[in-house]
């Protein structure tokens, strides 16, 4: 006969207010249960993070006055994906502006006044990603 594997468990380490911990201790002792079994039963019965009512009730129990944003009443259809921004090694002014989180005109003005490391190639500016990172990490010098 094959052995039954024990149910999967996950560790939970929490700090409770002293009064709540004492109540849990007294309840476990009075019921002759282990605290972990008591907590697991309470979570299974009362915690429902998949419903609006369950989340609202949990938010109301919080001692920190947490506001739970439940979103729209109806589910939103659609999808969204995040894509990492991996800037190229050599950037134009618009890409350098995106990288530095400033507008393109400011990038060009700073490059024209030699405040930003870059090279003018004809009418266009080009910026090295490595040089911009080095410039950002260097201390600011003031005249």
For 63-83, the pLDDT digits (tens) are 555 555 556 666 666 666 666
What is the per-residue pLDDT for 68? 52
From 61, 82, 112, the end of a domain falls on 61
Q: What pLDDT, on a 0 to 100 scale, did the predictor assign at position 2?
A: 63
Query: What is the rounded CA–CA span in Å between residue 34 and residue 39?
Result: 9
Residue 80 placed within a domain: no
Degrees to nearest 5, angle at CA 48 with 45 and 53: 115
pLDDT in tens, 87-122: 899 999 999 999 999 999 999 999 999 999 999 999
Residue 82 lies in a domain: no
Taking all residues of the chain, what is their mean pLDDT, rounded to a whole number? 81
Tokens of 28: 């476990």
Q: Which residue has the higher pLDDT, 30 or 49?
A: 30
Instruction: Check residue 103 and report its DSSP letter.
Output: -
Question: Domain range for residue 129?
Answer: 90-137
Q: Is residue 68 part of a domain?
A: no
Q: How far apart are the first and last CA of the chain?
A: 84
Q: Does residue 94 belong to any structural domain of this protein?
A: yes
Q: pLDDT digits over 12-44, tens only?
A: 777 878 888 888 888 888 889 888 888 888 777
Same domain (yes/no): 94, 57? no
Give the chain's largest Cα–Cα span. 84
Residue 6 lies in a domain: no
Total number of domains constituting the chain: 2
pTM of the model: 0.42
């Amino acid at each position: 006969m094959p052995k039954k594997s024990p149910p999967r468990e996950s560790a939970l380490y929490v700090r409770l207010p002293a009064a709540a911990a004492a109540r849990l201790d007294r309840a476990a002792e009075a019921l002759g249960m282990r605290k972990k079994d008591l907590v697991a039963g309470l979570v299974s019965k009362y915690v429902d993070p998949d419903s609006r009512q369950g989340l609202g009730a949990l938010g109301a129990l919080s001692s920190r006055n947490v506001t739970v944003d439940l979103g729209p009443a109806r589910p939103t259809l659609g999808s969204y994906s995040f894509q990492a921004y991996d800037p190229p090694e050599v950037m134009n002014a618009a890409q350098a502006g995106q990288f530095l989180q400033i507008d393109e005109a400011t990038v060009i003005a700073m490059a024209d006044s030699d405040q930003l490391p870059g090279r003018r190639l004809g009418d266009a500016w080009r910026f090295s990603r490595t040089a911009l990172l080095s410039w950002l990490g260097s201390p600011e010098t003031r005249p």
